[in-house]
Amino acid sequence: MTAALTDTPNTAHDRDWRRRVARAFGRAAPHYTRRALAQAQLGEHLWQRLPSTASRIVDLGCGPGDWTQRLTARYGRPALGIDLAFGMLAEARHRHARDAHWLCADATRLPLADGALDLVFSNLAIQWCRNLPALFAELHRVLAPGGVALINTLGPGTLAEVADAWSHPDRRAAVEPFVSAACYRALIRRAGLHGHLTPRVARFHYPDLDAVMASIKGVGAQVARPGARLGRADLVRARARFERHREAAGLPVTYHCLTLELTQPPRNTP
């Protein structure tokens, strides 16, 4: 899950959320690529849907820039990698400095001109956005007529095994809620975009709970909550609960991936 995208309202709570999300992904930047195997595999399915040509390209929630670099190579011109986390952008510049341009920005307030883009590629980032109407409005604004947005995000049921393992009678497991496919379809229509959504379920297996959590927290996709403190007893309990899900291949982690293929309709003419 590449770096976070945030909500528009500028309240103290929202600013705190942005700081915590950016900090979590920034800390994970140096080892993100090594640990983000599920994210990479899901991204390959999105990659297969790319249009044959594009000249003005953004990787939204670019993380350490691996997809941005590939977009540059595919289309023969520098893509623009946009992310909220300075740490991710620093890693992207270190790894791919000459392959793309880099910009720290909020996806709901993009510093781009109207109709500036032919292609937006975004792999597992927008699930961190808490103001999805603003996000889709921005996609509508920045895409040129005929422009395409290809987005992987996550739906309900994602990380169900993780949520069960860390559940507690006195508190809900610290797993972010995921938006339904029906809600995304409504958001697409409301924003004035055309397109469709394809659901896909993918399961990944890990040898133990430590490996499971490295695949989540280790890529930045677990944001610390104020006052959240887990003790040894919580860890022992989580291990035991997760073992109930074990399969022959290991401990399963389920991702309900939603692939959005969006197109900007022609502008209305007088």
Task: Output phi, psi for 149, to 5 deg.
Answer: -120, 125
DSSP letter for 65, please. Answer: S
pLDDT at 153: 97
Helix (H, G, I), strand (E, B), or coil: what is residue 2?
A: coil
Residue whose entry in the numeric block shows the structure tokens 């999805």: 132
Spatial separation of the C-alpha atoms in residues 155 and 124, rounded to whole Å: 11
Residue whose entry in the numeric block shows the structure tokens 């073992």: 243
CB 47 within 8 A of CB 75: no
CB 3 within 8 A of CB 22: yes
User: Which residues make beta-bridge pairs with 200?
Assistant: 257
Strands 143-154 and 194-206: unpaired
131-145 tens-digit pLDDT: 899 999 999 999 999
Tell me which residues of the chain have a pLDDT lower than 50.
1-8, 223-227, 269-270
pLDDT at 221: 58
- pTM given for the model: 0.88
C-alpha distance from residue 24 to each of 35, 84, 111, 221, 226 (Å)? 14, 11, 24, 7, 13
